[in-house]
Amino acid sequence: MKYTIDDFARLIDHTNLHADATEDDMIKLCDEAKKYHFKMVAINEVQSEFCAQQLKGTDIDTGAAISFPLGQTTVACKLAETKDALQNGANEIDYVVNLTQVKAHNWSYIEDEMTQMVDLCHDHHVPCKVIFETCYLSKAEIKQLALIAKEVQPDFVKTSTGFGTAGATVEDVKLMKENVGSDVKVKAAGGIRNTDDFLAMIAAGAERIGTSSGVKIIETLKQRFEKDGINSIEI
């Protein structure tokens, strides 16, 4: 597939999930998203209303992080937080699975949690992304989560929060893509800070990239395009 600069920008969820992020930081995030035409701003749920107002009238989504970054809340809490985000203007949801239940291999719990979250999002016509936090999981656990997602059908499965012990790897992106099937996409996030890593994740099967380095990545790509005299890259 061939990608233009805008195609690459539309793969990026432009991210600021820092606990001490100010309103000025959120304005900067949204302004950069508008300038570069990123797909989404990825923010903590409490910022949903503010960012939705900043992005009003654009095609850039407001993506709320739910039960972030640990995932250690009940299903009822995750649903309530999601409803609040949606009421306040969020139109994409990224939630963290209950890792205690994953490590206990309580797959029925995980399937029920995922089903309820996906159903709520889809009832509101909003994409749902399921964060695995792969750094804490074995390959077998990643595969099993992906197989559950294949049945439940969230819009995306996502590697990481960026707040764990490690972020996305090409190996994990490939493993997730191999097991979720053609109807579920993969989002790579966590530690993707340069253009080479960005392109490697896309080549591995990621169709969305969460990063706080989107501006640097796109500017570097623009320089490469100009230097090589091209207007697209095939991956």
Active site residues: 94, 158, 187
Look up residue 88 and give its DSSP letter. T
* Angle in degrees, 0-180, between the axes of helices 214-228 and 195-204, rounded to the nearest 10: 90
Name residue 21's amino acid: A
CA-based angle 146:39:217, to the nearest 5? 90
Output the CA–CA distances (angstroms, integers) from residue 105 to 67, 102, 140, 145, 234, in the order listed.
Answer: 20, 5, 10, 10, 40
- CA 82, CA 89: separation in Å to the nearest integer? 11
Torsion (CA) 105, 185, 86, 124 in degrees, nearest 10: -100
* Helix, coil or strand: residue 180: helix
Which alpha helices (H) appear in the chain, and where do they start and end? Answer: 5-9, 23-36, 48-54, 75-87, 99-103, 107-123, 139-152, 170-180, 195-204, 214-228
